Amino acid sequence: MTGVLSATLAKLFWRSDLRTVSWTRLCLVGAVAATIALFVGLVVTGHDGRMATYAGMVAVTAVSLWWFGFRPFRR
């Protein structure tokens, strides 16, 4: 859910900058990044639903969206 929501908001707010990047690709990248962060948080903390895990999911999703959508050498 985090990946889809962040990709949708990114496409809405930065419509002109992300014109060449598909919404599906942003969703996939965000969802995969959030899933990996969730599993890492589960292994590190031993519990699901910790605030550190959620913060990690948000941070990793934001970095992955930047990497695939806004990096200067993308073009």
In this prediction, residue 67 has a pLDDT band, given cuts at 50, 70 and 90, of: confident
Q: Give CA–CA dist 15/6, Å, rounded.
A: 13
- Give the total residue count for the chain: 75
- Higher pLDDT, residue 32 or 69: 32
pTM exceeding the 0.85 threshold for the entire prediction: no
Give burial (CB, 10 Å; 0-12/13-18/19+) of 57.
Answer: buried
Please give the tally of structural domains in the chain: 1
Q: Which amino acid is at 41?
A: G
Domain span including residue 21: 2-74
Provide the pLDDT for residue 60.
Answer: 92
In this prediction, residue 16 has a pLDDT band, given cuts at 50, 70 and 90, of: confident
Q: Residues 20-30: what's their mean pLDDT? A: 87
